[in-house]
Structure formats: structure tokens, C-alpha cells
Amino acid sequence: MPWTPDLSVGIKLIDDQHKIWFDKAEKLFAAGKQGQAKEYIGGLLNFLDDYTKKHFGDEEKYMLSIHYPEYAEQKRAHTAFIGQLAKLRGDYAAQGGNLLVILNANELVLGWLTKHISNMDKKIGRFVRTGNPEGR
């Protein structure tokens, strides 16, 4: 599932970072189709660990700079994602790149990210444009 304009938050820094996430996920799918997901997933998880912390840090700093009223809720969601990622990395370390770990990585990256962008991050853009996270 590629990044599409309907996932745009409307804030260049955040959108650009989301695009990189989706690009990495696309590469995981492509590796899976070629039977190479086991080799790719370890690198993906390492990338996600570093990049997620950077992205969340940038996004949280931005939210604080604009006095975003739903910052605490976003921070909790980010902390939960980092916990899920740590569990997945632990599963990978214990079990290697088996199918379940690969499927969980796909779901974590695409499922969580798509829902999070659509349900939470887009509110940041609406707040910037209208002064209200709901866009009213």
C-alpha cells in the first residue's frame, strides 16, 4: 500500500516523513513477494526503531510549538506504538523472520500507521488550518 495524497496531513515535514515509512513498507512487501522478507525484516525493524523515534520526536516538538490541544493523546499513541515495535523486535530476535513476525510487521507498519495518520495526525493539519483539530 503506497502513500497516497489522501493520507496527507498538510504539513510538509510530517508528510515527507510518513512517505519514507510507506516506502520502507513497500520494500518489505516487495521482498515478501520475492521470498526475501526474512532477510529484509531485520533491517526494517532496525530502521523503524531509529526512524520512529526521530519522527515521533519531530512530530511532538511540532505539536508543542503550535500548542496542539491533543498532544497528550498523540504522545500516548506514539508510546504505545514504540512498545508494539519493541515487542515485534523481541519476537524477531527470538523467532527470526518467520511468517507470523513478517505479517505482524506488515500490520504494525501499514495498519497502525494508516489508522494513526487518518484518525490522529490529520487533526494536526486541521488544527493548523482552522484552530480546531476537528476542523470546525
Domain boundaries, the chain: 18-130
The predicted-structure confidence for 12-70, as pLDDT tens digits, reads as follows: 999 999 898 888 777 766 776 676 666 677 777 888 888 888 999 999 999 999 999 99
C-alpha span between 14 and 18 (Å, rounded): 6
The DSSP secondary-structure symbol of 95 reads H
What's the grid cell of residue 98?
A: 518467520
The predicted-structure confidence for 90-130, as pLDDT tens digits, reads as follows: 888 888 767 777 777 777 777 888 888 888 999 999 999 98
pLDDT of residue 34: 73
* Domain 18-130 grouped into CATH 3.40.1160.10: no
pLDDT of residue 93: 83
The DSSP secondary-structure symbol of 2 reads -
The predicted-structure confidence for 87-98, as pLDDT tens digits, reads as follows: 888 888 888 767
Distances (CA, A) of 40 to 3, 27, 81: 20, 8, 21
User: 24 with 109: CB under 8 angstroms?
Assistant: yes
**What residue type is 54 in one-letter code?**
K
